[in-house]
Amino acid sequence: MSKKNNSFHPETDAVRIQTAQTPEMEHSTPLFLTSSFCYHDAEEMRAVFAGEKSANIYSRFINPSVTEFQDKMAALEGTEAAHATASGMSAVFASFMALLKAGDHILSGRAVFGSTHGMLTRFLPRWGISHTYFDANQVDKLESFIRPDTKMIFLETPSNPGLDLIDLETVGKIAQKHHLIFNVDNCFATPALQRPVEFGADLITHSATKWIDGQGRVMGGVVCGKKELIREVYLFCRNSGPSLSPFNAWVLSKSLETLFIRMERHSQNALHIAEVLQNNPHLNWVKYPFLQSHPQYAIAKKQMSAGGGIVCFELKGGLKSGKKFLDALQMLSLTANLGDTRSIASHPASTTHAKLTEEERQQVGITPGLIRISVGLENVEDILQDIEQALEKSK
Ligand SMILES: *Cc1c(COP(=O)(O)O)cnc(C)c1O
């Protein structure tokens, strides 16, 4: 059942790669719910520990359910290797800690996930790792921000929640020219819609909690990249402990089987909703990567195969209307997650990005009236109808 032919398309790999299998020859992938693995005798155990024989040891290091998820993610991202972690944040954290040291500098996109911002500003400086933010529209000037101590460029595209896009090709070339590690958080697009490795990314991080699970069940993360970089990420995680649980890995490996069809439908639904809402009188603007009115529409078309499942808009009535809108929703869920089969509405200014100052929120485009919709897989007319009736009541 493992990959016999390496010329399959990614959609096929997502369904067909299966490296976890027992002598029972189960068709659906088995779950290896065990914390450690046995040896036949003392000599075999010695050889495994000495690295002379490859075998499972302990689930903080390696577990077949986790390995399968890693193998699938590496195949989908087009990288040599992948290492899975307990959450998206532990993936981002490990990608920094495994490859940087005191005195190093990260050049980071400004519009990053709230907890990534927290890590960059609150914790990394304590260990001597500094950062400079650049805006999505400063990519032309990016080279002038590079310092002698810069070691990594990190960015999210599309960004959460503002849906800013960054030209991966341009940044990839700059990173390569200056020998910097190019690290992309590909959570919003997933490898189904965007493969940063094609534009020179060295590391790709994910919150698997979002679209990869896609059903709001488990936490998980993964870092994909070249073997020698992932080896460092693996060693950091093996020694510090943020392992993905075998159960969550099993859920995520099964989830990947439907990733491509889910992302296709999420994107179709989201584009339709964004197009219709463009004419809604209660909104200042609607933002979606595949809307022609998106300021970086050309970049979206170049590096993404569809726009993804997130739509943002700004209510004319600001904060007050935002609360009224959320209260008037009848079907959409009010919850912190995104990337679910169920459509979700959220208000970043009062939740995920509440820890930022007003000025910092403004810099990443989070206005008081900004609403983020994670468009699910319900019938698109039902989703739209709920949003429209709630907008009527948001005045
Ligand atoms: C959610 C998210 C994360 C963090 O992932 P967790 O699984 O919640 O730890 C990182 N980056 C982006 C873009 C996210 O949306």
CATH number, domain containing residue 94 = 3.40.640.10
Report pLDDT for 320: 87
With a 6 A CB cut-off, is 210 part of the ligand 1 pocket? yes
| CA of residue 163 to ligand 1 center, whole Å | 14
Q: Which of 222, 307, 302, 299 is nearest to 265 (CA)?
A: 307
Amino acid sitting at position 295: P
307 lies in a domain?
A: yes
| Ligand 1 neighbourhood includes 83 CB (under 6 angstroms) | no
d(CA 38, CA 32): 13
d(CA 22, CA 37): 14
* Whether residue 83 is found in the same domain as residue 166: yes
Give the domain range for residue 318: 259-392
Are the beta carbons of 322 and 369 closer than 8 angstroms? Answer: yes
Q: Is the CB of 340 under 6 A from ligand 1?
A: no
* CA of residue 21 to ligand 1 center, whole Å: 30
In a domain, 1, yes or no: no
88 lines ligand 1 (CB under 6 A): yes
Q: How far apart are CA 193 and CA 171, in angstroms?
A: 19
Residue 87 Cβ < 6 Å to ligand 1: yes
- Give the C-alpha separation, 348 to 310, whole Å: 13
Residue 334, C-beta contacts closer than 8 angstroms, at least 6 positions apart: 326, 344, 345, 346
- Can you read off the two tokens belonging to residue 377? 């897989």
Closest ligand 1 atom to Cα of 156: 13
The number of distinct structural domains making up the chain is 2
185 lines ligand 1 (CB under 6 A): yes
Nearest residue (by CA) to ligand 1, atom 5, is 88
CA of residue 120 to ligand 1 center, whole Å: 14
Residue bearing tokens 């992932």: 230
Pocket of ligand 1 contains residue 187 by CB under 6 Å: yes
Domain shared by 214 and 264, yes or no: no
CA of 177 to the centre of ligand 1 (A): 29
Identify whether 134 is part of a domain: yes
* Same domain as 303, residue 359: yes
Alpha carbon distance 139, 253 (integer Å)? 35
5 domain residue, yes or no: no
Ligand 1 pocket test: pick from 188, 210, 352 the residue with the most ligand atoms within 8 Å of its Cβ. Answer: 210
Domain boundary pick from 193, 227, 256: 256
Span from the CA of 223 to the centroid of ligand 1 (angstroms): 12
Report the pLDDT value the prediction gives residue 192, as an integer from 0 to 100.
98
pLDDT at 1: 40
Rounded average pLDDT per 10-residue block, the chain, 395 residues = 66 94 93 96 95 93 96 98 98 98 97 93 98 94 97 96 94 98 98 98 98 98 98 98 98 98 98 98 97 96 98 92 93 94 91 80 86 98 98 93
> What is residue 294's predicted lDDT score, i.e. its pLDDT?
96
Q: 340 and 310 in one domain?
A: yes
The CATH number given to whatever domain includes residue 388 is 3.90.1150.10
Please indicate, yes or no, if residue 27 is contained in any of the structural domains. yes
Q: Give the model's pLDDT for residue 161.
A: 83
**Ligand 1 atom at minimum distance from 92 CA:** 10
Cis peptide before 295 (omega within 30 of 0): no
Classify residue 304: in a domain, yes or no: yes
Residue 132, CB-side half-sphere exposure with 13 Å CA sphere: 15
346 lines ligand 1 (CB under 6 A): no
Residue nearest atom 7 in ligand 1 by C-alpha distance: 88
Residues 147 and 215 in one domain: yes
* DSSP strand pairing (81-85 vs 221-225): antiparallel
Residue 202 DSSP label: S
Q: Note whether residue 34 is domain-resident.
A: yes
Report the separation in Å between the CA atom of 55 and the middle of ligand 1, taken as the mean of its atom positions.
32
Residues 268 and 144 in one domain: no
Question: Does residue 167 share a domain with residue 37?
Answer: yes
Residues 286 and 169 in one domain: no
Quick one: 240 and 172 in the same domain?
yes
| Same domain membership, residue 211 and residue 197 | yes
Residue 395 CA from chain centroid, whole number = 34
Any bridge partners for residue 182, and if so which? 153
Residue 4 lies in a domain: no
Domain endpoint, select from 223, 256, 289: 256
Q: How many helices (H) and strands (E) does the chain have?
A: 15, 12
**Preceding omega of 158 cis (within 30 degrees of 0):** yes
Residue 209 Cα: closest atom of ligand 1: 7
pLDDT of residue 6: 63
**Look-up: residue for tokens 């994670």?**
374
Closest CA to 120 of 130, 109, 111: 130
39 and 176 both lie in a single domain: yes
Nearest to 309 by CA among 245, 381, 374, 379: 374
332 and 189 in one domain? no
Boundary of a domain, candidates 222, 256, 290: 256
* CB of 11 closer than 8 Å to CB of 260: yes
Residue nearest to atom 11 of ligand 1 (CA): 113
CA–CA separation, 209 and 117 (whole Å): 19
Residue 4: what pLDDT? 52
- Among 90, 96, 112, 115, the mutation site with the greatest number of ligand 1 atoms within 8 A of its Cβ is 115
Q: Using a 6 Å cutoff on CB, does residue 114 contact ligand 1? A: no
